[in-house]
Amino acid sequence: MRIFALAIALLAFSTPSFARSHAGAHRRHSNTTQVYKECKTPGHFALTFDDGPWEYEPKVVQDLEGKGVLGTFFVNGDNYACIYDYADQLQSIFDAGHIIGSHTWTHRDINEVSPEELESEMGKIEVALKKILGIRPKLFRPPYGQYNDTNVRILKQRGYSTIDWSLDAGDALGETPEYSKAQYDAQAALFPAPGVSLMHETINTTAYEVLPYAIEVLQAAGYQLVTLPVCLGLKPYDYITGKETRNESWKC
């Protein structure tokens, strides 16, 4: 029976599942070597979360910290909510040691925008994170997992490393929690193969069902759950002069 269950889990893991947020999108990108998809060290695994900040983020952080784990959060400026309305929440998770990365200002497909529009999307979220946290992120996750050589090159010129994933929990695709859990069962069976997973802090069942299960099954398999900078050996931020005091400019 256990062999059968493992076979089902491995089949689920091998089925392609590509991220999207509110609207569907098929991933279109080149085979660029400048994009990171898994950790460098066997036995390391990074849990990452997209599309926030949002109301389920505190529960995600509670799940992580209850097991002594730090996560990586790729945030938007004006997607589910205005980032300035969640400034205190963002500051709290940053102070706790979780990593904050960029996910563009409005979650636009960067394959569908001009270079000038991409620069604007990146610049606006940079301004917000400088005001709120006093940092400029160096890690970037493209919305919908969409990228090409041109925009990866633009991002690199701005100082970013582009981050993909090796395991998609499928939560933004509307997959069931059982489906998402099966992806982690399959990953556990592959230990010590390293990886990076994609989840969304904006999904209720991710925070309350899938993430606690994922942490438990991965740690039981022997994985060390690490942040992306540890996973990839990359610097997470350029620190600037310090955060601002909230003022009338803190609005979307």
With a CB cutoff of 8 Å and minimum separation 6, the contacts of 24 are none
Catalytic residue among 29, 44, 98, 200: 200
With a CB cutoff of 8 Å and minimum separation 6, the contacts of 243 are 91, 130, 131, 132, 133, 134
Report the 10 Å Cβ neighbour count for 109. 18
Chain centroid to Cα 20, Å, comes to 12
Q: How many CA atoms lie within 13 A of 84 on its CB side?
A: 16
How far is residue 169's CA from residue 85's CA, in Å, rounded to a whole number?
A: 28
Phi-psi region of 78 (alpha: psi -120 to 50; beta: other; left: phi over 0): beta
Helix (H, G, I), strand (E, B) or coil at 251: coil
Tokens of 156: 């690199």
Residue 238 belongs to what H/E stretch?
A: strand 237-239
Tokens of 105: 């200002």
Scored b (16 or more CB within 10 A) or e, 111-133 reads: beeeeeebebbbebbbebbbbbb
The CA-atom distances, in angstroms, between 9 and each of 12, 43, 124, 170 are: 5, 19, 41, 14
Catalytic residue among 29, 44, 50, 51: 50
Catalytic (active site) residue 200:
yes
Query: What residues are labeled active site?
Result: 50, 200
